[in-house]
Amino acid sequence: MTKLAIVILNWNGKGLLAEFLPSVIQYSDEADIYVADNGSTDDSVAFVRATFPKVKVIENKENGGFAKGYNDALKYVDADIYCLLNSDVEVTKGWLGPVLSQFEASPNTAIIQPKILDYKDRQRFEYAGAAGGFIDKLGYPYCRGRIFQSIEEDEKQYDDIIDIFWATGACMFVRRAVFEALGGFDEDYFAHQEEIDFCWRAHNLGYNVQYVGHSHVYHVGGATMSNMNPLKTFLNFRNSLYSITKNLPKRTVLKLVLIRLLLDGIAAARFVFQFKFSHFYAVLKAHFSFYWNFRRTFKKRGNAKKFTKYQGTTSVVWSYFVHRKEKFSELS
Instruction: Report the Cα 328 to chain-centroid distance in Å.
Output: 18
Residue 12: what pLDDT? 96
Tens of pLDDT along the chain (332 residues) come to 899 999 999 999 999 999 999 999 999 999 999 999 999 999 999 999 999 999 999 999 999 999 999 999 999 999 999 999 999 999 999 999 999 999 999 999 999 999 999 999 999 999 999 999 999 988 899 999 999 989 999 999 999 999 999 999 999 999 999 999 999 999 999 988 999 999 999 999 999 999 999 999 999 986 555 567 899 999 999 999 999 999 988 888 999 999 999 999 999 999 999 999 999 999 999 999 999 999 999 999 977 776 655 566 788 988 998 999 999 999 86
Residue 104: what pLDDT? 98
Residue 15: what pLDDT? 97
Q: Going by C-beta distance under 8 Å and a sequence separation of 6 or more, which residues neighbour residue 278?
A: 230
Predicted TM-score (pTM) of this structure: 0.94
DSSP secondary structure letters along 156-219: STT-SEEE-SB--TTEEEEEHHHHHHTTSS-GGG-SSSHHHHHHHHHHHTT-EEEEEEEEEEEE
The answer to whether 241 and 253 are in contact (CB under 8 A) is: no
Going from the N-terminus, what domains does the chain have, and what CATH number goes with each? Answer: 4-219 (3.90.550.10), 230-330 (no CATH)
